[in-house]
């Protein structure tokens, strides 16, 4: 896994106000989201995957996620639940 690649995050993850609870690997892109609702027009931010790993090492557990799959956890420290993206 190339750790210096770009990843899309929501505003809450970008600001560090909420943890990463939902991750998706689709079309070669990674998304790391808080799993909460967002305001209309509140688009994604782009950050380096290596910075996310430094801040939340728990995402290392899902960096082998297959294309078109997602993983979700209830809270930090909970196990990741993997499933295909519908």
* pTM for the model: 0.89
Q: What are phi and psi of 64, to 5 degrees?
A: -95, 10
Beta bridge partners of 9: 32, 45
Average pLDDT over residues 57-74: 95
Residue 68 has pLDDT above 80, yes or no: yes
In this predicted model, what pLDDT tens digit does every residue of 29-38 receive, in sequence order? Answer: 999 999 888 7
Q: Burial, 78: exposed, middle or buried (Cβ in 10 Å; 0-12, 13-18, 19+)?
A: exposed
Beta bridge partners of 45: 9
Average pLDDT over residues 62-77: 95
Residue 25 has pLDDT above 90, yes or no: yes
**CB neighbours (10 Å) of residue 41?**
5
18, 12, 23: which is closest to 81 by C-alpha?
A: 23
In this predicted model, what pLDDT tens digit does every residue of 9-20 receive, in sequence order? Answer: 999 999 999 999
């Amino acid at each position: 896994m190339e750790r210096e690649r770009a990843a899309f995050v929501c505003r809450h993850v970008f600001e560090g106000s909420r943890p990463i609870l939902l991750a998706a690997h689709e079309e070669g892109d990674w998304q790391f989201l808080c799993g909460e609702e967002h305001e209309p027009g509140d688009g994604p931010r782009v950050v380096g995957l290596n910075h996310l790993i430094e801040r939340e090492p728990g995402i290392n557990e899902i960096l082998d996620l297959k294309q078109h799959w997602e993983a979700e956890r209830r809270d930090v420290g909970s196990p990741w639940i993997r499933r295909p993206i519908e």
